[in-house]
Amino acid sequence: MESKATFQRVRLAVTMGDPAGVGPEVIVKALQHPWVQTACRPVIIGDVTALRRAMDLLGIALPLKIVHELHELPTQSPEGVCVLCRTPLSLEDIAYGRPSAAACRETVQFIRTAVGMTVNKLADAVVTGPIHKDALHRHGFPFPGHTEFLQDLTGASHVVMMLAGPKLRVALATIHCALRDVPERITYESLLDTLETLATSLRRDFGLARPKVAVSGLNPHAGEAGRFGREELDVIAPAVNRFRDTHPWCDVSGPHPPDTVFFRAFEGHFDAVLALYHDQGLIPLKLVHFYEAANVTLGLPIVRTSVDHGTGYDIAGKGLAHCGSLLFAMQTAVTMVRHRNAERILA
Ligand SMILES: NC(=O)C1=CN([C@@H]2O[C@H](COP(=O)(O)OP(=O)(O)OC[C@H]3O[C@@H](n4cnc5c(N)ncnc54)[C@H](O)[C@@H]3O)[C@@H](O)[C@H]2O)C=CC1
Ligand SMILES: NCC(=O)COP(=O)(O)O
């Protein structure tokens, strides 16, 4: 029989991501970490050929417990690493940096399977490895990325992308769109929706009873009283004021000058910054936390975290990829699951 501590390990459905990228390598490296052995029970959902190739590359021999169907998943911690691999790919299918149609098809199935497992309580959270968006799109994947695919799979009404590191959390008001489309996408209503999802998650998933959220401005110096742009006066400040009035439990402020708000958050003044577009938020985040940050989808009925990096085709197969982001993504998922469980018990 398993000890109580083992029984309470959080079950993570970890997708490999693109087998032609760094996903398999970072998984093999992360699985060796002592924290993984004690705090969680990962099931790797991916391709066993790619996993074995990564182990050979790194000179790391992990005992594998390979299953092909969900009903074969062990109900207790198995000896070795549990891998769910439905259709093994050939080495030709997964040449580094050259994802085939078969690999792209499987990559999407990994995500679908992990979400299904979590929705059906066979896992407590999904942790995703990196996918190559352009490769998947070329093979018919209709979503911009995981975030929108997971929203569709779970029927969530509103989701927000947040990247979280040890000292800085950055949520995004817009995600994958051209810079020229950003201003028109930042509306009073969209900001209120994003703040609602962000603040609710900081409270529920991260245990912050009164989260401090800073909203960034869009223009230099947050518009300098309208001289460098009017979005702050016309849209952002009214939304922040409205949210503050209706959510006394959230300490929301802004719009702040974008050039200093991330530094202030890094110094501990805020729990999260709401950035208005992808690179406004992710450049500072990755500058300070690239090897130790997770991407988190807020607003889903399930917990989902991810690595913060992409497929790294330029280094795939060289053994250079750092596994810190995957480890942090797994740790963040465990933290979120524990907070959600505690809330359920208290409710
Ligand atoms: N979580 C996900 O699924 C993500 C997927 N992507 C996708 O990945 C693809 C490639 O995107 P890029 O912009 O080139 O970003 P990338 O993160 O793959 O690579 C950027 C740079 O970081 C390095 N790098 C990446 N992962 C690393 C690791 N674990 N350790 C050390 N260095 C690492 C690469 O060698 C490269 O120099 C794109 O299709 C993009 O959409 C990008 C970010 C996240
Ligand atoms: N820049 C973050 C990113 O591209 C990850 O997107 P997603 O696949 O998690 O939606």
- Domain 1-156+300-346 is found in CATH 3.40.718.10: yes
Q: Report whether pLDDT(323) > 50.
A: yes
Output the pLDDT for position 77. Answer: 77
Q: Which two tokens stand for residue 330?
A: 């797994």
Q: Report whether pLDDT(24) > 50.
A: yes
**Average pLDDT value for the chain:** 95
Output the pLDDT for position 87. Answer: 85
**pLDDT band of 199, cuts 50, 70, 90:** very high
Output the pLDDT for position 37. Answer: 86
Residue with the larger pLDDT of the pair 93 and 74: 93
Helix (H) or strand (E) segment spanning residue 183: helix 182-185
Distance CA 27, CA 60 (A): 11
To which residue do tokens 């969209």 refer?
Answer: 190
Residue nearest to atom 10 of ligand 1 (CA): 310
User: Nearest CA to 277 among 133, 115, 161?
Assistant: 161
Instruction: Answer whether 305 contacts ligand 2 (Cβ < 6 A).
Output: no
Q: Report whether pLDDT(53) > 50.
A: yes
CA 285 / ligand 2 centre spacing (Å): 14
Distance CA 252, CA 279 (A): 22
Q: What is the largest CA-CA distance in the chain?
A: 69
Question: With the CA atoms of 15, 16, 17 and 21 taken in that order, what torsion angle do they form, in degrees rounded to the nearest 10?
Answer: 170
User: Nearest CA to 132 among 106, 107, 156?
Assistant: 107
Output the pLDDT for position 120. Answer: 97
Strand order in the sheet with 64-67: 64-67, 81-84, 40-45, 10-15, 125-128, 303-307, 294-298, 160-164, 169-172, 272-275, 212-216, 251-256
The answer to whether residues 279 and 175 touch, using CB atoms and an 8 Å cutoff, is no
Q: Which sign, positive or negative, has the C-alpha torsion 202, 15, 342, 119?
A: positive
Range list for CATH 3.40.718.10 in the chain = 1-156+300-346, 158-299
To which residue do tokens 């979120």 refer?
Answer: 336
Q: Which ligand is nearest to the CA of 144?
A: 2
What is the DSSP secondary-structure string of 74-102? -SSPPSSEEEE-SSPPPTGGG-TT---HH
Q: Report whether pLDDT(3) > 70.
A: no
* pTM greater than the 0.90 cutoff: yes
Tell which atom from ligand 1 comes closest to the C-alpha of 26: 29
Q: Which of 8-17, 77-86, 143-152, 268-277 has the lowest mean pLDDT?
A: 77-86
pLDDT per position as a tens digit, 201-256: 999 999 999 999 999 999 999 999 999 999 999 999 999 999 999 999 999 999 99
Tell which atom from ligand 1 comes closest to the C-alpha of 21: 18
Q: What is the CATH number of domain 158-299?
A: 3.40.718.10
CA 141 / ligand 2 centre spacing (Å): 14
Q: Which two tokens stand for residue 223?
A: 């518009």
Q: Report whether pLDDT(30) > 80.
A: yes
Q: Report whether pLDDT(123) > 60.
A: yes
Amino acid at 138: R
Q: Report whether pLDDT(2) > 50.
A: no
Output the pLDDT for position 6. Answer: 41
